[in-house]
């Protein structure tokens, strides 16, 4: 099987559509590592795409905050403002959808989680030291994580933790949408980037009166 691994869409419809186009005909299954909503101007449309395509997904911290399961005091002011806006516009069926998302999923050959297996919604894994407790909890030899918005590949005693970066809010200095194609036969995980209409997203964010900082950072991928 070939899998498309996506994470941190954050209500960015243009980026999601560009990634899905890039995956078309190249993978057998797409999976999502959480944070479908938050920051971006199209949370409903992004949720509906994942729902209609039956894409296996887990919950991220922005889902948990949008449903009220995480306090907004755990977020910076810009993220909190975007979550409050998302709460106002999210349709009931999409609110229920993100509320029902599991924290982890065990798929054939690998596991997925948003943050870590220690703290699924909130912990950032940025280096091997931080990842060691999660390596110990892994049931399989491969785990895909998101949350940091930066691609990462860690290995420890025959196990791997891979982060595909972010679809809708890259923060590694490359503003293009990031995703991975994983081939379970060869074990290859290929990181790919695609361009999308950043200006169109920014214009929608301005119209929604979302924080200027969130609007500007899309252009630089930071």
pTM here is 0.96
Cα torsion for 182, 170, 39, 120, to the nearest 10°? 50
| Percentage of residues in the chain having pLDDT higher than 90 | 100
Spatial separation of the C-alpha atoms in residues 79 and 116, rounded to whole Å: 20
Spatial separation of the C-alpha atoms in residues 65 and 72, rounded to whole Å: 6
User: Does domain 2-220 correspond to CATH entry 3.40.50.12780?
Assistant: no
- Tell me: the pLDDT tens digits for 103-152? 999 999 999 999 999 999 999 999 999 999 999 999 999 999 999 999 99
Can you give the pLDDT at residue 141? 97
Spatial separation of the C-alpha atoms in residues 30 and 4, rounded to whole Å: 4
Residue length of the chain: 222
- Tell me: the pLDDT tens digits for 71-99? 999 999 999 999 999 999 999 999 999 99
């Amino acid at each position: 099987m070939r899998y498309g691994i996506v994470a941190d869409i954050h209500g960015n419809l243009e980026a999601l559509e560009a990634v899905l186009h890039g995956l078309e005909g190249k993978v057998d299954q797409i999976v999502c590592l959480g944070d479908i909503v938050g920051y971006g101007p199209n949370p409903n449309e992004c949720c509906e795409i994942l729902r209609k395509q039956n894409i296996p997904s887990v919950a991220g911290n922005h889902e948990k905050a949008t449903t009220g399961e995480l306090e907004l005091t755990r977020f910076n002011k810009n993220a909190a403002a975007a979550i409050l806006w998302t709460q106002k516009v999210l349709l009931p069926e999409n609110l229920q959808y993100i509320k029902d998302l599991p924290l982890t999923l065990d798929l054939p050959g690998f596991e997925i989680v948003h943050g870590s297996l220690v703290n699924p919604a909130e912990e950032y894994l940025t280096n091997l030291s931080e990842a060691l407790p999660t390596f110990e909890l892994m049931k399989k030899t491969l785990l895909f994580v998101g949350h940091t918005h930066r691609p990462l590949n860690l290995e420890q005693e025959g196990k791997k933790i891979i982060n595909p970066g972010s679809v809708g809010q890259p923060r590694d200095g490359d503003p293009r949408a990031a995703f991975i194609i994983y081939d379970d036969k060869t074990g290859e995980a290929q990181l790919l980037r695609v361009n999308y209409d950043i200006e169109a997203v920014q214009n929608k964010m301005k119209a929604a009166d979302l924080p200027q900082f969130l609007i500007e950072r899309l252009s630089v991928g930071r």
